[in-house]
Amino acid sequence: MQSEPGLIEQLYRQHSGELYSYLARRCPDTATAGDLLQETFLQVVRQTDQLPAVTMPRAWLFGIARHMLARHYRRQRDPLPVAQTWYESAPEPAAKDDRLAAMREAIRSLPTELRDTLELRLEQELSYEEIAHVLDIPIGTVRSRLHNAVRQLRGTMTKPEETNS
């Protein structure tokens, strides 16, 4: 059986990259993202006794990281909500595809909970079970949120085409 520091080190090696990327996309600067990654793993060290019971380590880590991010914005009293993500404040790319710009707008207009769920699926490629664990909601809710999000995006994307035709 692996020792607890060894287990945490393994978790760090496997998931710190994607967690950092998740945090960096939602933080104003990379230093804050680094700090939050450190806070996330400090929380893991504090909860070492829970490690054997963790069935989905990736989802567990994303859950902690998400909690750290929310706490950070709460403490900062920053008007930037957790759901406001990197691509909203990122400069528009030299749009080769008009549909990408339209999609960006469509994603922006999604309700927070739908967007949050969709991000975990498309950006981090978490399974429905993992998303349910991260957001602490039933798996049926995850499915219905994802379906609603895709339905809304499709509706927004097909509107201009319909008006043009």
Partner 1 sequence: MKPDILERLLMDRALKRLDPDTEVLLADYLANDPAVATQARELQETVRLAAEIMRSPAPTVEMPNQIHRLVWRHRAEQVFALAASFVVGVGLTALVIHANPRRENMAAVNPPPIAKIQPALVKSRIESLPFWSNQRMYLLASATEQSRSKSDANSKEN
CA distance 58 to 17: 12
Q: Which stretch binds partner 1 (CB under 8 A): 50-58, 61-69, 71-79, 84-92?
A: 84-92
- In angstroms and rounded to an integer, the radius of gyration of the C-alpha atoms of the chain is 18
20-59 positions binding partner 1, by CB under 8 A:
20-22, 24-25, 30, 33-34, 37-38, 41-42, 45-46
Residues 6+ apart with CB under 8 A from 69: 23, 26, 27, 36, 82
Query: What is the helix, strand, coil percentage profile of the chain, to 5?
Result: 75, 0, 25
Nearer to partner 1, 74 or 154 (CB): 154
What span, in angstroms and rounded, lies between the C-alpha atoms of 87 and 16? 21
Residues in touch with partner 1 (CB under 8 A): 5, 8-9, 12-13, 16-17, 20-22, 24-25, 30, 33-34, 37-38, 41-42, 45-46, 86-87, 90, 93, 99-100, 103-104, 106-107, 118-119, 121-123, 127-128, 143, 146-147, 150-151, 153-154, 157-158
